[in-house]
Chains A and B, each alone.
Chain A
Amino acid sequence: MDKTWNNKAWFLVLPVLVLVAFSAVIPLMTVVNYSVQDTFGNNVFFWAGTEWFEELLHSDRFWEAMVRNLIFSFIILAIEVPLGIFIALNMPKKGWGVPVCLVLMALTVIIPWNVVGTIWQVFGRNDIGLLGYYVNALGIDYNYVQDPFDAWVTVIIMDVWHWTSLVVLLCYAGLVSIPDAFYQAAKIDGASRWAVFRYIQLPKMQRVLLIAVLLRFMDSFMIYTEPFVVTGGGPGNSTTFLSIDLVKTALGQFDLGPAAAMSLVYFLIILLLSWVFYTVMTNYDAER
């Protein structure tokens, strides 16, 4: 088919370009601007070149936050993905149970982040929190304010509680799209429960699972509000993830230069990882 080429069509995308420029590109440029300068009061700027970047890349604090964040993302993916698949497989496919389950699953996803944080902050307290109080009453020493391990457990359980539903909903959408004939054919072929999962359900869920993994990875890598509300990054720095560290630097210490450099590096890491995921996904599609 012949296509009509007309360069005037570019004007049609102009409004979007302007909008994106104002909402994203220009603010980003101010960050770039900060990252190469040192600032003092009264808007006095000194050229710093790559100093902040070099400092950042040699800073233990940055790398520790990064490692913590990667471990956190890895743990929650390792829990939420299998758990999400398991729950989705066991959800009803028809009848009154479907809307009930879907609403229950969607509930946690629509709660605002800081509310989730507050819920768990109170829930886990060992003086008035239901969880904290009874866990301690059972003789288990649990205190997320003082014990780094307990703090991690709390933050991870909170994230699993908050976001497993997303994985469930995506997987469920993949599962209900499988026609009955596939299950019937599997019966006729004498397939075991495991073979049905491995050769029918999992392949059909593969695409939504990739999206789920991508979303959960990005979100957990950028996590800020919930751990900030629950632990404030503590005890010590034990739950200080990258974004918490960033906010501490930028707004706590008002080190705008280093914070800007950090944002850019952070941004590039996420961009890189998104690209990796995107490539993996599109290659996978091309293979089909």
Chain B
Amino acid sequence: MARIDVNHIRHSYLPNPQKDSDFALKEVHHIFEDGGAYALLGPSGCGKTTLLNIISGLLHPSHGQLLFNGRDVTNLSTQERNIAQVFQFPVIYDTMTVYDNLAFPLRNRRVPETDVDRKVRETLDMIDLAGLAKKKARGLTADQKQKISLGRGLVRSDVNAILFDEPLTVIDPHMKWVLRSQLKQLHRRFGYTMVYVTHDQTEALTFADQVVVMYDGGIVQIGTPAELFERPRHTFVGYFIGSPGMNVLPVALEGKTAKLGAQRIELPGVPKAEAGAVELGIRPEYVRLGREGMAVQVSKVEDVGRHKVVRANLEGKEIAAVIGEDDEVPAEPKVRFDPAGINIYADSWRVEMGA
């Protein structure tokens, strides 16, 4: 296991990148601590797979350095970096048995056959496929195949990190939970450094200790799931995480109050905002719907099972509020913003609020 330093890495798929927009990855500088479970979360095309492939060595970055435990590995091949990677679609060698699939990475590295046997059996137990060892791999279900892909990574105990590239995309929802909790368990038991790429926030938030949110080729926020939820550093994080995403409303600041049209909203503190477009962000969970506050017109109520999402119009802006499953929308609905949930953004970046 290793600590991975991503040192000012930039990458472009073009031969001669000039502008900033030529870069798929616009300078990422981050340290993945030894034994940490990280998720790279972001929409399609934000550069998360590019970053993953740079770590595994499938891509060579245009600029920057990659260090494993302080050693520069930027120019080492994938084999030399000793990395395991699990791909979006299960990759199995279909002419081989399950056992041989797992033995393949070891045999390629000329590990003695007795060690191969021991390791493969251990891994088969770990991923719960011991009963299928002698079966041809091609007859298996998608989740079993994906477990084999995972097993091929786990079988080498000395790997520096295990990378996952949206590994649960083709897995049925109920198996996703099972596999994800197995991954968590493996992480806790063996302390692998794991980096998990996904565009699914639930996956990221349940898997990782630290979630790295990426947007447009860069990292916008790194934090625990709770931090991302309570204090999104960028409005994008607010939109992207949460269901529905954060309400972002353009406001004008006046000391400790924010003005939205004719409404005045009391803030928990004085924002240290410089000039620029100021926005107020509040998650639907902190919007209180009741008989007092600012008048809204309710346009739609979505019942999503455990709670209801109310879509309403406040001063010409769409907002969403979450209410309990049994709560009713009052005849003359009004909303209040819970001060604990208010964040202020200047030019899309969060600003601190003083006393």
Contact = CB atoms under 8 A, between A and B. Distances in A.
A187 B91 CA distance: 12
Contacts of B53: 184
B89 interface: yes
B123 to A, nearest CB: 13
B87 A184 contact: yes
B114 interface: no
A95 interface: no
B316 to A, nearest CB: 48
17 contacts: A179-B89, A181-B88, A181-B91, A184-B56, A184-B78, A184-B91, A185-B85, A185-B87, A187-B78, A188-B84, A188-B85, A189-B108, A190-B109, A191-B108, A195-B108, A199-B93, A203-B95
A199 B77 CA distance: 21
Given A188-B56, A191-B108, A288-B138, A199 B95 contact: yes
Contacts of B88: 181
Nearest to B105: A189
Nearest to A200: B93
The interface size bin for chain B is: 20 to 34
Given A181-B88, A200-B93, A187 B79 contact: yes
Contacts of B77: 187
Nearest to A206: B95
A192 B95 CA distance: 17
Interface of B: 53, 56-58, 77-79, 83-85, 87-89, 91, 93-96, 104-105, 108-109, 138-139, 149, 152-153
A267 interface: no
Given A179-B89, A182-B91, A200-B93, A187 B138 contact: no
Contacts of B109: 190
A182 B92 CA distance: 8
A203 B87 contact: no
Contacts of A199: 93, 95-96, 104
A185 B105 CA distance: 10
Contacts of A192: 108
A182 B105 CA distance: 14
Contacts of A189: 104-105, 108, 152
Contacts of B83: 188
A185 B153 CA distance: 10
